Amino acid sequence: MRVLMFGWEFPPHISGGLGTASYGLTKGMATFGDLDVIFVVPKAWGDEDQSIVRLVGANKVPVAFKQVHYQGFRRPIEKIEVESKIVPYTDPEDFWKMSRSEVSGYKLMVHTNDKGMVEFSGRYDQNLMDEIHKYAIVASVIATENDFDIIHAHDWLAYPAGIAAMEASGKPLVIHVHATDFDRSGGNVNPDVYHIEKRGMDAASKIITVSNLTRDIVINKYNINPDKVETVYNAVEPVSLTGESITTKGFDEKVVTFLGRITMQKGPEYFIEAANKVLKVMDNVRFVMAGSGDMMERMMRRAASLRITDRFHFTGFLKGQDVFTMLEMSDVYIMPSVSEPFGISPLEAMQSNVPVIISKQSGVAEILTHAVKTDFWDIDAMADAIYGILNYPELARMIIKNGKEEVIRLKWDNSARHVRDIYYRVLGNKQG
């Protein structure tokens, strides 16, 4: 079976949770002899691991003077090269007005370079909506030039690309919901993002969610038939540990770590408030907020107002080996997310012999037994859990031992097998 898979992240570039999950899943799929995956990203950098997958960068696909298919236009779009940078719309609202219009025309002009290729930043910047829809245009070309059986699109950024490929090829589409805008926004959803998510869910033959928490959101918030939505839990990439830490703290104090995007979704303010409570009764502990995001400055100001900056540290964004170095220095890992579709980082912490505290409002809480679970808003319970783990070594050792045994069983091979079964069912239904 040949799979045409669209994503937005692939390590080592922008290797957040989405990239980590995409890589892990494709690596798991590589263990099966009957799956051949073409993985497409907006921009290929050239240093991605292609031992497990054929990676295609949309920025490397010539599109000039080719016929492409894109929903919203009554006839095939003639993709033509122009000398100056022209985008099909000035903002998302104008785009949606154009794409829904009966008289929107059939010629779409976008900028290509001298090789007839569309350029992408491959990042999350102010031109994100532009990039999403340019990605869909190139996806149509990719779909007509490759042989495959099924399409798989990861997260909302890739849904338009998946739909365009489906329209051009007639092949069934499976979408993978790693998060919804209800998670990212706390319920104050962006209507343009919601429209893209809803359109992808409606177009898909099957919807994969990373947790039952996310499945319920898809069913109830997007009015999707429950029979169409299936949960496939994420896993964690195995890491090799020597048994002895190679990192030294440089100080004889405990370390409690928050590691992730500093955004409303991740609950950083609850971490700070819990830290403040612990610091009132302990003086041999430091708290670390490792990450970046739109709430970082606000969190710095809050730590300063609580007068805990001598015990509270901000590292900025960490990636690669720096993540595991930080975990090696940690005595407790905490993920107080307000709404977390899954959450791979607690699994990485458990692999690194770190006891974890997670919010009950996370998908990973559905499958973990040997982790401390609190409500994200319950800073008293959070502080008590931190204090207990730091001051009762036997408790910490028990959580570490049982957690390590538990996380070893969470393999990407199992997730990939589940996804493969979904593919065969979709194709069987298609054929039947």
The amino acid that residue 420 corresponds to is: R
Residue 47, classified by CB atoms within 10 Å of its CB into exposed (0-12), middle (13-18) or buried (19+), is exposed
Coil, helix or strand for 252? coil
Q: What is the DSSP letter of 13?
A: B
What is the Cα–Cα distance from 206 to 230, expressed in whole angstroms? 8
Dihedral sign (CA 62, 97, 219, 187): positive
Taking only the tens place, the pLDDT of each residue in 118-165 is 888 877 777 888 889 889 999 999 999 999 999 999 999 999 999 999
Annotate 74-111 with b (16+ C-beta within 10 A) or e (fewer).
Answer: eeebebebeeeeeebeeebeebbebeeeeeeeeebebe
Please give the C-alpha separations between residue 409 and each of 320, 406, 412, in angstroms, as whole numbers: 23, 6, 10
Nearest residue to 21 via CA among 213, 154, 211, 174:
154
Chain Cα centroid distance, residue 301: 28
Predicted pLDDT at 161 = 95
Q: Residue 57's CB: how many other CB atoms inside 10 A?
A: 19
Terminal-residue alpha carbon distance, the chain? 17
Coil, helix or strand for 141? helix
CA geometry: angle at 61 spanning 56 and 66, to 5°?
Answer: 140
Sequence-separated (6 or more) residues with CB below 8 Å from residue 87:
110, 111, 130
Asked if omega into 355 is within 30° of 0 (cis), the reply is: no
What is the Cα–Cα distance from 215 to 233, expressed in whole angstroms? 11
Please give the C-alpha separations between residue 172 and each of 4, 149, 250, 365, 424, in angstroms, as whole numbers: 10, 8, 55, 32, 11
Chain Cα centroid distance, residue 161: 17
What is the Cα–Cα distance from 98 to 239, expressed in whole angstroms? 49
Predicted pLDDT at 157 = 94
pTM (two decimals): 0.84
Coil, helix or strand for 118? coil
What is the Cα–Cα distance from 412 to 154, expressed in whole angstroms? 16
Predicted pLDDT at 385 = 97
Predicted pLDDT at 411 = 93
CA geometry: angle at 387 spanning 384 and 388, to 5°?
Answer: 85
Taking only the tens place, the pLDDT of each residue in 352-368 is 999 999 999 999 999 99
What is the Cα–Cα distance from 215 to 191, expressed in whole angstroms? 20
Using 70 as the pLDDT threshold, list the residues of the chain that sit under it.
14-15, 64-110, 240-248, 429-432
Annotate 206-245 with b (16+ C-beta within 10 A) or e (fewer).
Answer: bbbbbbebbbebbbebbebeeeebbbbbbbbbeeeeeeee
CA geometry: angle at 14 spanning 8 and 19, to 5°?
Answer: 55
Predicted pLDDT at 356 = 97
At the topology level, CATH places domain 254-408 in: Rossmann fold (3.40.50)
State both tokens at 300.
Answer: 């710095």
H-helix or E-strand containing 40? strand 36-41
What is the Cα–Cα distance from 432 to 417, expressed in whole angstroms? 22
CATH 3.40.50.2000 location in the chain: 2-66+122-235+413-427, 254-408
Chain Cα centroid distance, residue 343: 9
CATH superfamily of the 2-66+122-235+413-427 domain: Glycogen Phosphorylase B; (3.40.50.2000)
Predicted pLDDT at 117 = 87
